[in-house]
Amino acid sequence: MNFLLAKEKRSQRVTRELYILEDIYYDDLVDSICTYLPRYQDSIKNLQKKGYEIVGYARKSPTNEDAETRKKLLKSMISNLKERSLATRIYASPCSWASSPLESRDLRPQVIMNNLSVDGNTQDLLTYLKSVSHDVCLVAIDFAGLTTRSQDIIKLVETNPSLKKIAIETFAQCNELFIFNTEELVQNNDLLRKFEDRNCLIQRSK
């Protein structure tokens, strides 16, 4: 299990081999999610203490399941964002590809949104990020849960000064957590490639 990050503030040294998670214990590897999850949540709580709002984003690809199954899977992702990542505001894209530009998603209203108990769709998320002045940490389940287009990450960060952190949790795949400082993320091609590398499909509703 790896804890990854952009910089270790306490020593003021840039770490090239390992990107260490800000304000999280990282010396000891943990053996189970029972230990890992509290540490992850401590990291999120530390951000909240610093004034960050934790905003979750859930995306479901347009696959062949029926509407009821799609709703169930989305609700499970939303629940995970609330319970694991402590998100207090959540947006969802109920039917979009990971490779589709963020600005092109959810341009038409979808009935399923009425049953998800979220704060809006992708368009609402983009509007909200532009409207706030406080710091925001955007959380998604898996890199593809947000986008597989690194250019979208760059544009999202550059057009939204409030977006200071992007967090990606991969409990369903490999129990890794990434919290990126967005200013450093957009300048680091190795980190941006993590959004483009999709080695396997994962079930984000787990």
Residues 163, 182 contacting (CB under 8 angstroms): yes
Domains annotated for the chain, with CATH where assigned, are 51-196 (3.40.50)
Per-residue pLDDT of 135-158, as tens digits, reads: 999 999 999 999 999 999 999 999
Q: Give which of 3, 5, 2 is closest to 185, Cα–Cα.
A: 5
pTM equals 0.81
Sheet holding 163-169, edge to edge: 3-4, 177-181, 163-169, 136-141, 53-59, 89-93
Per-residue pLDDT of 167-187, as tens digits, reads: 999 876 676 789 999 999 999
Q: How far is CA 161 from the centre of its chain?
A: 17
